Amino acid sequence: MVNKNIIYIATVIIIVIIVSSVFLYMNYKTSNQSTAKGITITDDEGYNTTLPAVPQRIVSLAPSCTQILFAIGDGNRVVGVTDYDDYPYNFTAWAAAGNMTIDGGYGTPNMEAIAGLSPDLIVTDNINDGTNLATMRNHGWDVLVLNPLTIQGIYNDIKMIGKATGATTQANQVVQNITDTINTITSKISNAHVAPPTVFYEVWTPPLMTAGEPTWINDVISKAGGINIFANASDTTQYPTISSEAVVALNPDTIFLPTEMGQTPFYGSVADVKATAAWNTISAVENNRIYVINADLFAEASPRVADCVYAVAADLYPQLFNSTS
């Protein structure tokens, strides 16, 4: 009986040791792959990634990243996009035709789809949580995370991706074009010498949320010649929750409501905003200066940021930009 037990225990231990060493070996094999020399990129989260070669199979996990990649001429190397991507092309139709792979939802990447794409670079914004990022990096994939807090941050990200994909010249050109467009808008506004209107940007309700100082949306508003009334609401929270009373007290000249095209707006409707208790005394409501803007533009820190600035400027200064709105 005792002998039987010893044999039994010995067998179990031997099996465990053998299987464990096989796992160790496999792990050693995979972890050994990422020691090659190449260019090192530091992303917006401070993570250093060394790319052994110019990436040829790029997976995008955010619409803004897809737009940057296509803007700097890397579109033909993009092998996967999320099911939220709809710009600059109708990727859903591409996928149905078998010319593009949908690699998951925005913030819910499908690891299997990504593995099937054998990516040599993955680009995402900060929607993906630590677990997703750790999983992808544990699989041995190179991941760059974008998290721009200003328009300058968007420029830096475009240049960062350009550096990673070997498209530095194109990236600099794209940044130059955006800068030029925005400069034209700002100089037009500053030449007009008009008192800048104040802006309330309603991100969400309920609870009532706005964009604070550490967001590139705040930067867009100031570039478009507006003053974000909640710029100083919080130094650290990007989208602080605020009280309805504070909006009344700060009495904004204009209210901006982001809405996704063709979808139910976050805030209800313009009529709902006007009907909000005690808001009828707000200058923006009294003068009917409530503007609905395309949230796709404002939710994505993409090369379209100049369009963003233009859209806001056109609403703030209709006398200067009377072509639209």
Partner 1 sequence: MSEDEVKGNFSKRSSRWKIILAALVVALIITIIASLDIGFASQTPANMKLAIPQISFIQILYILGKQIPFVGNKINVSAVFTKPGDLASAQNIIMLIRLPRILAAALVGAGLAAAGVIYQGVFRNPMADSYLLGVSAGASLGYAVAILYISSALTIAGLGISQAFAFIFALLTVFLALLIARSGTRIPVVNLLLTGLVLNIFFLALFSLLEIRAGKALGEIVAFTLGSFSSIVWTHVWVVFPFVIVGIALTFFFTRDLNMFSMGDETAQHLGVNTERVRIFLLVIASLMTAAAVAISGVIGFVGLIIPHMTRLAIGPDHRILLPTSAVVGAMFMVICDAVVRVATGASELPVGVITALVGTPVFFYLLKRRKTSYSL
Q: Give residues in contact with partner 1 (CB under 8 A).
A: 5, 8-9, 12-13, 15-16, 19-20, 23-24, 26-27, 30, 47, 79, 83, 92, 95-105, 107-108, 110-113, 115-118, 129-132, 134-135, 138-140
Closest to partner 1 by CB, 23 or 275: 23
DSSP type of residue 239: S
Q: Measured from the CB of residue 81, what is the shortest distance to partner 1 in angstroms?
A: 11
109 close to 134: Cβ distance less than 8 angstroms: no
**Closer by beta carbon to partner 1, 7 or else 194:** 7
Q: In the complex with partner 1, which residue's Cβ is closer, 23 or 39?
A: 23
Of the CA atoms within 13 Å of residue 2, those in its CB half-sphere come to 0
| Helical spans, DSSP H, in the chain | 2-31, 63-71, 91-96, 111-116, 130-138, 151-165, 168-192, 216-223, 244-250, 270-275, 283-286, 295-299, 305-316
For 131, phi then psi, to 5°, come to -60, -50
Nearer to partner 1, 213 or 315 (CB): 213
Q: Which is nearer to partner 1, 102 or 171 (CB)?
A: 102
- Non-local (6+) Cβ contacts of 55 within 8 A are 77, 119, 120, 121, 142, 164, 165
Amino acid occupying residue 36 = A
For the CA atoms of 128, 130, 132, 133, what is the dihedral angle to 10 degrees?
90
Task: Specify burial of residue 37 (Cβ count, 10 A radius: 0-12, 13-18, 19+).
Answer: exposed
* Residue 229 C-beta: closest distance to partner 1, Å: 23
161 and 68 Cβ atoms separated by less than 8 Å: yes
Query: Shortest distance, CB of residue 156 to partner 1, whole angstroms?
Result: 22
Residue 260 tokens, joined: 């996704």
Closer to partner 1 at the Cβ: 116 or 318?
Answer: 116
Q: How far is the CB of 114 from partner 1 (least distance, A)?
A: 9
Q: Taking the complex as a whole, how short is the minimal distance between the CB of residue 145 and partner 1, in angstroms?
A: 12
Closer to partner 1 by Cβ: residue 22 or 36:
22
- Tell the smallest beta-carbon distance from residue 320 to partner 1 (Å): 38
Dihedral angle, C-alpha 170, 171, 177, 183, nearest 10 °: -160
Q: What is the CA radius of gyration of the chain?
A: 25
How near is the Cβ of 113 to partner 1 at its closest, in Å?
5
